[in-house]
Every structure is written in C-alpha cells, then in structure tokens.
Amino acid sequence: MPFEPSVQAPFAVAVDLVVLAVHRSALRTLVVRRGESPDRGRWALPGGFVGAQEDLEAAAARELKEKTGLSVHVAGNGDGAHLEQLATYGDPGRDPRTRVVSVAHLVLVSGLGEGQESYTGVVRGSVLGDVAGGEPEVRWVPVDELLPGDSETHRRSAPSLLAFDHDRILAEGVDRARAKIEYSSLATSFCPPEFTVGELRRVYEAVWGVALDPRNFHRKVTGTPGFLVPTGGTTSRQGGRPAQLFRMGGATLLNPPMLRPEA
Amino acid sequence: MPFEPSVQAPFAVAVDLVVLAVHRSALRTLVVRRGESPDRGRWALPGGFVGAQEDLEAAAARELKEKTGLSVHVAGNGDGAHLEQLATYGDPGRDPRTRVVSVAHLVLVSGLGEGQESYTGVVRGSVLGDVAGGEPEVRWVPVDELLPGDSETHRRSAPSLLAFDHDRILAEGVDRARAKIEYSSLATSFCPPEFTVGELRRVYEAVWGVALDPRNFHRKVTGTPGFLVPTGGTTSRQGGRPAQLFRMGGATLLNPPMLRPEA
DNA sequence: CCTGTTTATCGTCAGTGCGACGACTAGGAT
DNA sequence: ATCCTAGTCGTCGCACTGACGATAAACAGG
C-alpha cells in the first residue's frame, strides 16, 4: 500500500503568500490583480508555481522578491521580513485548470512609519497603500475590508472578494499572526530595526484591532527580560515626549504571553 | 509572472501521518516497516500518495484507516481520532525517486486504558505496543526512543532512526501536540469518551514528560467552566478511591492555559 | 476488624502578574 | 505661559498559580 509512484496524479505545486504589514493604524495585506485566465482581473494573493528543483521556502522568497522587491531572512530576523509556512490547500477543484496544491506562507514586513504618506514603501516603485505603476497592479488593502465577520463595517456572509480560496488563506494567515504575537516577539517584525514602545504597541493594536493601555503595555514589554534592548539612542519623534529607542532582544518567546483583551 | 502552467514540474504529492497515543505512561507514535525501494526495511511514518481527485484530509484519513483501522471525525471529536494538518515538506531530494511534496498530518488517538496489556489496540489485529501480524509490520514506539535531545536516555546527535526526513516531521508533530494541549482541550483526544481527572492528568504527564501536582491539576481542570462535564456516573477503578467520570465540555479553548512546568 | 497503601478531592496561604487608573515628565504648538 | 500629546513610573486590588496539609474512599494483608 505505501508508496506506489505509478498511481501518481499530475499535481502542480504552488506557493501563495499572505504578506502583512501595519500602515496607518491598519493591518494590511498585499494583493495583486490577476492578469491570467481564471479569475482574470480579480484580486488575489501573490503566488506562483514552485520550480522543479526549488525548495518551498525558496519559492516563497522568490515570489516575494518578484512581487515586492523584499528579501527575507528565513529563520532569524535581519532587516528582511519574517517568513514562515502557513498551511497547504489542496482541494480538488480549487483551481479550475488542473489539480493545484498550494503551500501558503505568511510574511510579515516592517511597514510602520505611520507618518502618513512619508513612507516609501516596500513595493518597488510604489508607496504603501497606493497602486503600482507599470508593473503588475499591486495594492495594500486593510484586512478588515477583505475579511467578513472580522469586526465592524457591514456584515457580509461570504462575498469572496479574492480569487480561488484566497479569502480563507488570508483569514488563516491573519489568525496565525494574531495568535503568534501573543507569545512571541514576532510583532517586532512589523517594526523597523529600532522602534519605540509606543510604536510596538500600535502594532499590537492594529493587528488585534483593540486599544491597549499604554502604561500596562510599557510595563509588560520592558519588564520581560531579554525582550527589548535599549539602543541608548534615547530619542525619536512621534508627537509628544521623546521616547526611548529599542531593538529586539534575544528572547523570541514571550512568557507569560501578552494577553489579548476581549472575552 | 503569476501562474504559468507550462513551466510546471512533475510533482508527486503525499501525506505523512504522525499518529500519537498515550499508552503505559508513554507518548507513543505509530511507525511502519518500509517494504519498498528507498529505505526498505527501515521504520517510517505511515503515509502514501494522494489520489488524483482526493482531498488532502481525505487522503490522510484513508491512510489512517488503512494502517490502523481508525476513523477520524475531522473537526469535532466523536469517538474518532483528532486529525489536523501539520506542515508540508518539499525539499528537492527528500525522496530519491522523484520530487515528492509531503503534507504531514497530526493524529491523536485515544489509546489510554493504562491497564497494562488489557487494551485491545487501535491497530487492527494487534495490541498497542506490539507488532502486527500478517499485515505490514506496525509498531507503537515511545517517542523518547526516536527523538534525540528530547529528554533522558543517551545523547545521540542525529542518528536518524526513521526513513526520509521523518525524524523531523515527528519532532514537529510532537512539539505541536505538546504546545496545543496547553491552551486547548486537545488532550482529551487521548482519552476515551469518559475519563477521570487522574487519567487526563496522566495524559499531560506522558505528553510533557513531567510530573504534575494532582491537587492543582484537579483544581485547574474542574475550575475551568465548560471544560469538563461530569457524566453523573461517578465511579471507575484505577487503584485507590473511585473517581468521578467526565466528558469533554463545549469549551475547546483553555483560558488561561494549563502551564507547563520547567523554566 | 484494623492498618497501611493508593488515588481522589477539598482547603489554605503566599507570591506573581495583570487590569484599572493616578501622577509626573518632556517635547511641540498656540 | 498654557495646552496638548505621548512617554514613563507607581499603586491598589484581584485572579491565578505553586507548594503543601488534610480528609475520603476504595483495596490488600494480617
């Protein structure tokens, strides 16, 4: 019974990317306008087929590079983005062309800046939040606008705003990100190399869609040993009193976790 | 750039299964003796290729049925086992034959019984812990014996006791199970439909490989509303004073989580 | 029957961490 | 100077946990 290569079916293997960033107090995801046959003209998650001799993560990193110009440092965060595998979707019929098994990946990029339009974005030639130029049409969309029962706005049942089963993939990617910043230092992947406690807090608030008490948040993140390292450079400007700058510490796990409100 | 079916490579898609059970105070996993070409005679995780029109979960359930006779109730726990997707492994060269992308799944089966040999096992025709008869050779092995730096015994660096990259898949499956029983009611998947608090505690102890305080554990699980439901049937025998019988309650999430010792 | 052993279950107490919230600080804007 | 904004430090009460004592209910032997 085990392993009969003769009965193999012709599978195509692809990677799809849930690329998340925080911009203007909103958690946003990267979508591209489809130019090909199925669902042509519809928005979809960036993705593509895996090369014959290509590793899955390599394929995801390549696609990211092609679509956004971003490079990732897999396992370990440099200035690049965080990349991790999400889940695999292989329903027969999820792609009308052939049997496509797609390995979804989650990418978190530092798109903070928060300073309005000032941010010269991750997408090459375009600003975060705007539409790209000559290249394939690309947009950063607030996930609220794509996910139905997610929070507020109007209640839609399942309008399926994205091509294929990308709604579901996006939803699971967002869930993963929301869950993971609870107990890990992953939220710093949304921040530039040096950031303030307030900026980090605004990341949590954007990802979770809640308001956090600045004082308790400050106590929590500065009180966890190894989580944040002050860079000495004590200043920065965001509005009020200048804040201390921090860099991510060695601790990747947050224990006890950051508690997400709501019950 | 996106989607060029013409450049597809010939992929084979498989499912591999990390099947876990608790028996005799040990967390065990199901391994089968390979009878085919690569790594013939070596132990491996059960698995096989996905059918042309078969869903990934369906393929995993089918493989489980073929190898163990167990049926699963995906999403929602009846008397069947718990099944969830783990991760996908697609390194070129992980299988010497062709490019095989394998979607690993995690299966938790109720193999308690604890009453020595009395348990008539999940593996058809065989007893949990023993070797199968005429069918493909199957064994329940304590994960300690397969995972290196996991805990005690001798320190081996990377003997690779299983075929392919199954060591790594097993390790990640065990990690997932260990992490998930912290904040969910998943541990009850290792228990029969009705169980005592002590039996549930022994599951946690076996999976985590630690000793838990019976009194604090009892307070925790009985104090969390909706987690356990007393069946009324107040009795059972395990040694000392008879214990109350419980069934899993509606609550699938454990908040605050069960804390795993060690620091 | 009495005693020791085993497991279950109830309580107590101190320490930790969190939510709520007051108070003070240090810049920019008016 | 005054207001506004954001950052940072403290305090108080509560919930939960870990350590651990005590009692209860079965069984095995003598």
- Cα distance between residue A160 and residue A190, in whole Å: 27
- Cα distance between residue A175 and residue A179, in whole Å: 6
- Cα distance between residue A6 and residue B48, in whole Å: 12
- Sign for the CA dihedral angle at A221, A226, A232, A238 comes to negative
Instruction: Give the predicted TM-score (pTM) of the model.
Output: 0.88
Quick one: what percent of chain B has pLDDT higher than 90?
64
pLDDT at B75 over 70: no
- Cα distance between residue A33 and residue A166, in whole Å: 13
Beta strands in B34-157 (DSSP E): 43-44, 47-49, 82-89, 100-108, 138-142
Q: Which run of H or E residues covers position A55?
A: none
Residues of B in contact with A66 (CB under 8 A): 1
Q: What is the tens place of the pLDDT at every residue in B19-63?
A: 999 999 999 999 999 887 788 889 999 999 999 999 999 999 999
- Cα distance between residue A237 and residue A114, in whole Å: 12
Q: Which amino acid is at B8?
A: Q
Whether residues B136 and A3 touch (CB distance < 8 A) is answered with: no
- Cα distance between residue B46 and residue B23, in whole Å: 19
Q: What is the tens place of the pLDDT at every residue in A52-90?
A: 999 999 999 999 998 878 888 655 444 578 999 999 999
Task: Please report how many Cα atoms fall inside a 13 Å half-sphere around the Cα of residue A47, on the Cβ side.
Answer: 26
Peptide bond into B256 cis (omega under 30): yes
Q: Helix, strand, coil: what percent of chain B each, to 5?
A: 25, 20, 50
| Position B238 confidence tier, pLDDT thresholds 50, 70, 90 | confident
**Rounded (10°) angle between helices A197-208 and A214-223:** 110
- Cα distance between residue B131 and residue A222, in whole Å: 54
- Sign for the CA dihedral angle at A188, A189, A190, A192 comes to positive
Q: What is the DSSP letter of A259?
A: P
Spell out which chain A residues touch chain B, with contact meaning CB-CB distance below 8 angstroms: 1-5, 7-14, 32, 34-36, 44, 46-56, 66-67, 85, 87-92, 97-99, 101, 103, 136
Which pLDDT value is given to residue B262? 77
pLDDT at A195 over 50: yes
What string of DSSP letters covers A106-123? EEE------SGGG---SS
Q: What is the tens place of the pLDDT at every residue in B80-134?
A: 789 999 999 999 999 998 999 999 999 999 974 433 333 334 444 344 444 444 5
Spacing of A256 CA from D15 C1' in Å: 15
What string of DSSP letters covers B136-154? SPEEEEEGGGT-STTSSS-
The residue-averaged pLDDT of A184-192 equals 96
Q: Which amino acid is at B221?
A: V
Chain B closest CA to A226's CA: distance in Å? 15
Peptide bond into A46 cis (omega under 30): no
Nearest in space to A42 (alpha carbons), one of A168, A161, A173, A165: A161
- Cα distance between residue B68 and residue B18, in whole Å: 12
B143: how many CB neighbours lie within 10 A of its CB? Answer: 22
The residue-averaged pLDDT of B203-225 equals 97
The residue-averaged pLDDT of A84-109 equals 95
Q: Is A209 buried (19+), middle (13-18) or exposed (0-12) by CB count in 10 A? A: middle
* B127 CB-near residues (< 8 Å, 6+ apart): B117, B119, B120, B121
Q: Phi/psi at B51 (nearest 5 deg)?
A: -70, 160
Q: Which amino acid is at A128?
A: L
Q: Which run of H or E residues covers position A209?
A: none
| Position A157 confidence tier, pLDDT thresholds 50, 70, 90 | low
Whether residues A9 and B52 touch (CB distance < 8 A) is answered with: yes
- Cα distance between residue A115 and residue A23, in whole Å: 9
Whether residues B1 and A50 touch (CB distance < 8 A) is answered with: no
Using the CB atom, is residue A237 less than 7 Å from strand C?
yes
Whether residues B13 and A92 touch (CB distance < 8 A) is answered with: no
The residue among A262 and B227 whose pLDDT is bigger is B227
Q: Which amino acid is at B96?
A: P
Q: Do the bridges between strand A26-33 and strand A43-44 make them parallel or antiparallel, or are there none, so unpaired?
A: antiparallel
Spell out which chain B residues touch chain A, with contact meaning CB-CB distance below 8 angstroms: 1-5, 7-14, 32, 34-36, 44, 46-56, 66-67, 85, 87-92, 97-99, 101, 103, 136
Q: Which run of H or E residues covers position A185?
A: none
- Cα distance between residue A5 and residue B48, in whole Å: 9
**8 Å CB contact between A207 and A106:** no
Which pLDDT value is given to residue A4? 47
Q: Phi/psi at B256 (nearest 5 deg)?
A: -70, 155
The residue-averaged pLDDT of B226-242 equals 89
